[in-house]
Amino acid sequence: MRHLGLIPSLVAALIAVSLPALADEPPPVDPALKDGPGGRAAEAFEAGDYAEAARRYQVLLDTQGVSADTLFNIGTAWAWAEEPGRAIWALERARLLAPDDEAIAHNLEVIRQRVRLKRMEATTGQKLTEGDPEGFFAFHLLTGLSWRWLGALTVLFNLMAFATVLGWLKTRPGGRRDALVVTAALFFSLTALGLAGVVGQATVRQQIQLGVILDKGVRLHQTPTTTSEKRAHADVYSGALVRVLEQRLDGWSHIKMVDESAGWVRSDQVGLIQ
């Protein structure tokens, strides 16, 4: 399956008015997309029914398995449907599967810029909270590395280290032998770094749970009950990244925001990036 395409950057989109819709007409769709298993979704997207396109791609994801391309198309369709939370959630999941995909990175950046501009317009005179939730940097740093490349490089460095050691054993004492010792130490160090990256990536996926607020108008509850006190929070908005501290079986999630405050939301209002 191929990508639906890139979302126009805000530099071009903001020429006419302050914050326009993404487009007045549906963007062109690659004809090849209509011939594949997601053909009906592509047709809905081309017709301008972006929410329906996202739902049809979601069915494809549920029935044929998770793929970066399908998640990309879900996220892009939700972005055109003006649902930034669901768009960012899908694209963040796509990024985990394809960390080097430039189209995923581009659309994520454009959507986040739009969210920030809308927040600035909605909170005139108020200072927006800067930064990311706790654990975000480590999560993105480690998951941004392809585990396949890490594994391949680790094996390669290990083989080169042992080859260097064998060369050292067959070399007479002298300057060349000393150089081989330094080279072997370097390759063993690189091997250790590669292993640390693989282990660190697995660890961060297990210990750090990040989520995206999916819906607009989500209120923060003081306790995990519908009758508890609830309030609006400046850092709880559609597309906001949060740290998920706990997910309960009764349908509530405990989240922490950028400003370190915490509260409860319904689990169906936050999507895990895992």
Query: 165-208, pLDDT tens digit by residue?
Result: 666 566 666 556 666 666 666 666 666 666 565 555 555 555 67
Q: Which is more confidently placed, 49 or 34?
A: 49
Average pLDDT over residues 115-144: 66
Q: How confident is the model at residue 233 (pLDDT cuts 50, 70, 90)?
A: confident
pLDDT of residue 271: 92
Q: How confident is the model at residue 162 (pLDDT cuts 50, 70, 90)?
A: low
Distance CA 188, CA 223 (A): 51
The model's pTM: 0.71
Given a cut of 90, whether residue 84 has pLDDT beyond it is yes
15, 48, 97, 133, 154 from 212: Cα distances, Å: 29, 25, 17, 11, 33
Share of the chain above pLDDT 90, in %: 25
* CATH assignment of 210-272, among 2.130.10.10, 1.10.3720.10, 3.50.50.60, 2.30.30.40: 2.30.30.40
Q: Which is more confidently placed, 253 or 122?
A: 253
Given a cut of 90, whether residue 58 has pLDDT beyond it is yes
Strands, E assignment, 111-239: 210-213, 220-221, 230-231
Q: Are 28 and 5 in contact (CB under 8 A)?
A: yes
pLDDT of residue 81: 92
Q: Which is more confidently placed, 34 or 258?
A: 258
- Judged by DSSP in three states, 37 sits in coil
Structure tokens at 84: 């930034």
- Judged by DSSP in three states, 121 sits in helix
Fold of 10-122: 1.25.40
